[in-house]
Amino acid sequence: MALYFALLLGVAWWTGRHADQAGYFLGNRQSPWFVVAFGLIGDSLSGVTYISVPGQVGAQQWSYLQVVLGYALGYGIIAQVLLPLYYRLRLTSIYSYLGTRFGRSAELTGAGFFLLSRVLGAAARLYLAAGVFQAFVFGPLGVPFWGVVSTTLLLILAYTWRGGIKTLVWTDLLQSGFLVLGVGVAVVLLAQAMDLGPAALIERIAKSPRSQIFVWDWRAPEFFWKQFLSGAAIAVVMTGLDQNNMQKTLSCRSLPEAQRNLYCFAGIMVLVNAAFLALGLLLWEFAGERGLTAPALTDHLFPQIALQSLGPAAAVVFVLGLTAATFNSADSVLTTLTTSFCIDFLGFERRTDLTQAQRDVRRRVTHAAFAGVLLFTILAFRAVNEGSVIQLVLKMAGYTYGPLLGLFALGLFTRVRVGGPWLPVVCLCSPVLCGILAAQSPQWLGGYRFGFELLILNGALVAAGLLTFARGHPARTSP
């Protein structure tokens, strides 16, 4: 791990030597599209996929792949609908579009929901990884949990402090490589431990009841159309309406290169997630063959077997893969939270009264402050979280990204004019209504339980509420 961090710091030093504000925010729009595409793997998968997806195969089989297929559709929508708009307006923060289209309150509301969503999501991912490191690596050495988290955040600060996106494009390439290598080597080591050659391995996966993908019971949360359409919606909002992922894509040299980046990334995402599900199936099969007791928290299945049953090679591969997955997602979040706050709340692009030195100081203070916010939120997760973290992250996305979906849909597909102090009220009320409906739906809707499609409903309620208030306002052409 020490060598790994030294390598990251070396890449950060090299790429951030001459980075200015334009380099920090958008990498001077000179990032190679294929580097961005591969680097997005770790940013989108993170430690949540690395640990939670293999663990949940025991209960949900391969049904998660239905969501991933929806992701691929969502990336196509982003490439054809959102990227042309972002490049035409030459946006640094994508929420500046809401300000141009609807006014200042819409921009602040959109940016505020992004900040909330990403702080919660990043904290959940870091909590997961830090918890595993604590339980299997640092806890036996007497290092407290808060020490593990604090050290992690300090290391991230160290290599993102100067270069921002200009650095992250290249460190993410490195970390995505370690993540993919980790899952690939883990599959090979499990197959060897179970005496499975390539043909036998494929046959074992194909014949296992745990490899079931499609669920056709319309009342189940894993029903195919709910998962597939929700996956597309999740991809649109968590990638296309999310500053964290779009900031790297917008650093590509041109719109065609940015679109190629997303098309390539869509195919890679399906393949890599299928590999994670295959890994999960093999972990459960291995545990059954060896008579191992599955942990109460399925997120710990992969680390338990990798660190205790497969030998030192598997342990090293697991730790490096988890480290790469953790840092790949968390480092981007710190940079993009800083970008959104500086552009949308501090008004860097509008204000002419700030010198470059003043902008740099405020940016760095914001960068460090968000690290403190993440630390506090992770410690809060430590006290209250239960269950699979990936379910928690996606459940939170349904509530916090719904208003963004509604706002952008109105801006792109209607000509109505909305705004004013009631706009954030509508955006806050909709997630509350969705929470009540999700809790009561089995009683109110004949046993129907909401899954990830709650995100779509949330966005629709926001759009309907804003349209109600927009009646009587003059039409305005979308920019």
CATH code of the domain containing 22: 1.20.1730.10
Structural domain that includes position 310: 2-394
In one-letter notation, the amino acid at residue 389 is V
Token representation of residue 289: 């063959």
Q: What is the pTM of this model?
A: 0.77
414 is a domain residue: no
Counting the structural domains of the chain, the total is 1
How high is the pLDDT of residue 360? 82
476 is a domain residue: no
CB-based contact 274:257 (threshold 8 Å): no
453 is a domain residue: no
Q: Among 24-33, 70-79, 246-255, 467-476, which stretch is predicted with the lowest mean pLDDT?
A: 467-476
The percent of residues above 90 in pLDDT, for the chain, comes to: 6
What are 65-106's pLDDT values in tens digits? Answer: 898 999 999 999 999 999 999 999 888 889 999 988 888 888
CB-based contact 118:242 (threshold 8 Å): yes
What are 298-347's pLDDT values in tens digits? Answer: 777 888 888 888 888 888 888 888 777 777 767 778 888 888 888 888 88
How high is the pLDDT of residue 473? 45
What are 408-449's pLDDT values in tens digits? Answer: 988 888 888 887 778 888 889 988 888 888 778 778 877 777
CB-based contact 339:243 (threshold 8 Å): yes
Nearest to 342 by CA among 89, 24, 101: 24
- For 252, the 3-state DSSP assignment is strand
How high is the pLDDT of residue 172? 78
**Alpha-carbon separation of residue 445 from 65, 223, 436, 439, 460 (angstroms):** 27, 16, 13, 11, 19
Confidence of residue 476 (pLDDT cuts 50, 70, 90): very low
How high is the pLDDT of residue 69? 92
Average pLDDT over residues 171-192: 83
136 is a domain residue: yes
CB-based contact 102:417 (threshold 8 Å): yes
474 is a domain residue: no
37 is a domain residue: yes
How high is the pLDDT of residue 276? 86
416 is a domain residue: no
How high is the pLDDT of residue 329? 66
Mean pLDDT computed over every residue of the chain:
81
159, 161, 166, 171: CA torsion to nearest 10: 20
- Residues 383 and 196: their CA atoms lie apart, in Å, by 41
- In three-state form (DSSP H/G/I as H, E/B as E, the rest C), the secondary structure along 13-70 is HHHCCCCCHHHHHHHHHCECHHHHHHHHHHHHHHHHHHHHHHHHHHHHCCCHHHHHHH
Q: Among 353-357, 366-370, 371-375, which stretch is predicted with the lowest mean pLDDT?
A: 353-357
438 is a domain residue: no
